[in-house]
Copies of this chain bind each other. A is one copy, B any other.
Amino acid sequence: MTTHSLAECQALDQQDPLRSLRELFQLPEGVIYLDGNSLGILPKATPARVAQAVTQEWGTDLIKSWNTAGWFQLPLQVGNKIARLIGAKDDEVVAADSTSINLFKVLSAAISIAKADHPQKNIVLSERTNFPTDLYIAEALCKERGYQLKLVEAEELHSALQQDVAVLMLTHVNYRTGAMLNMKDMTAAAHAVGALSVWDLAHSAGAVPVDLNGAHADFAVGCGYKYLNGGPGAPAFVWVNPKHTDRFWQPLTGWWGHAAPFEFTPDYQPAAGITRYQCGTQPILSLTALDTGLDAFLEAENLGGMKALRQKSLALTGLFMQLVQSQLQGHGFGIATPAQDDLRGSQVSLTRSEGAYAIVQALIARGVIGDFRAGDGQHHPDILRFGLTPLYVGFADVWHAVRHIKEVMDTQEWQQARFSQKNAVT
């Protein structure tokens, strides 16, 4: 691709077969939103759907809605929509709780299975820059169960996959760099040493094609409020390979995972299948918003689905990196995201030895919304993150975003004191 001019980017937008999907979203005025990897944009259909859930289903129909509005089935109904995006089948996915809690469920189950099958193994292996909450959950669980959490760099994963590894726990697309692991190869490598694979799809579900069954993965969790556009803190999801589902139940044994929740028996009998990965009553209003958010992907199915979305995503991230290289020379940026197509997700991450936070703030002040992720001051640099959501980001958006970065650097705007004050959440 040699596209550089605004006119050429606008032409790409006009030719984009997915361009109509942008109309499904309430794009905020005057904003180039490159943070759909953190919080997806509001779908236009969502306000009315949530209002209906509030005023009609709750307000008028009250408890009847557990049946008539399908509240009780909503976790599975939403799960079935997500299943289509991640290579799972109907009734293999449930939407519930948070990503952290779902990870606790599947990692508990994975450890229990590993303990039964390979009692001598004692390592849970993960990546040092895996999303911290995943590492926190694993750290506590390993301590409780007598396992050791071993953290290595991405390039060390293969050599660390030894016979002592019980569970390989990875995030498919790295939240910092956007680097994507090969799920099929990594899972095969895990299986080759008798380890189970647990995948966090937070930055891949809805962003890149995922084929859990095709990769013979063992467990997966993911996030509802990033690329799935479910709204702030939307419930997460959980998938378990059917060969494992009925073998063990997870420790959060609440009544929604019971075989007969309304029999109110005092002893726990897990439901068959993925239902046992539910725990307590789910937040129906937030779950309804997630249900509606997923409908954009059903629309996308008529336009080529995840394959077409992936093609556009790669074109967007490719364009972004190309423009960074051609327009921002001499401004000290590095690109942390892999240039090779099959090694990256749907974001571009820039590095800079100083000022990353202030530059992101200066861009936000101009209406270009990305975000900042702190490095560790050693191996892992500070990151300027730009998520390129193919459902609603266009090629001209990318062009303007890089133009703004250039202007912020050319004018030294980012060095204004007001951009260096850190807020609680960025």
Known: A132-B258, A255-B132, A425-B262. A41 touches B62 (CB 8 A): yes
Q: Which residue of B lies closest to A99 (CB)?
A: B280
Residue A291 CB within 8 A of the other chain? no
Residue A325 CB within 8 A of the other chain? no
Stretch at the interface among A86-94, A133-141, A212-220, A391-399: A133-141
Q: How far is the CB of A260 from chain B (nearest CB, A)?
A: 10
Known: A67-B424, A132-B264, A266-B151. A101 touches B280 (CB 8 A): yes
Note all chain B residues with C-beta closer than 8 A to A255. 100, 132-133, 136
Residue A42 CB within 8 A of the other chain? yes
Q: How far is the CB of A347 from chain B (nearest CB, A)?
A: 14
Note all chain B residues with C-beta closer than 8 A to A333. none
Contact (Cβ within 8 A) B98 A254? yes
How far is A137 from B278 in the complex, measured between Cα atoms in Å?
Answer: 12
How far is A101 from B71 in the complex, measured between Cα atoms in Å?
Answer: 19
Contact (Cβ within 8 A) A232 B132? no
Which residues of A, 74-98, contact B by the 8 Å Cβ criterion? 97-98
Q: How far is the CB of A78 from chain B (nearest CB, A)?
A: 13
Q: How far is the CB of A156 from chain B (nearest CB, A)?
A: 15
Q: Which residue of B lies closest to A375 (CB)?
A: B264
Note all chain B residues with C-beta closer than 8 A to A137. 252-254
Which residues of A, 99-157, contact B by the 8 Å Cβ criterion? 99-101, 104, 128-130, 132-133, 135-137, 139-141, 144, 151
Known: A97-B97, A100-B252, A425-B262. A28 touches B60 (CB 8 A): yes
Note all chain B residues with C-beta closer than 8 A to A426. 262
Note all chain B residues with C-beta closer than 8 A to A98. 97, 254, 279-282
Contact (Cβ within 8 A) B283 A140? no
Chain A residues within 8 Å of B, Cβ to Cβ: 26, 28, 31, 33, 35, 38-39, 41-42, 46-47, 50-51, 54-55, 57-63, 65-67, 71-72, 97-101, 104, 128-130, 132-133, 135-137, 139-141, 144, 151, 225, 231-236, 249, 251-256, 258, 261-268, 279-287, 289, 369, 371, 373-374, 376, 423-426
Q: Which 9 A-B pairs have the closest CB atoms?
A: A98-B280, A100-B254, A283-B286, A100-B280, A232-B284, A133-B255, A42-B59, A136-B268, A66-B425
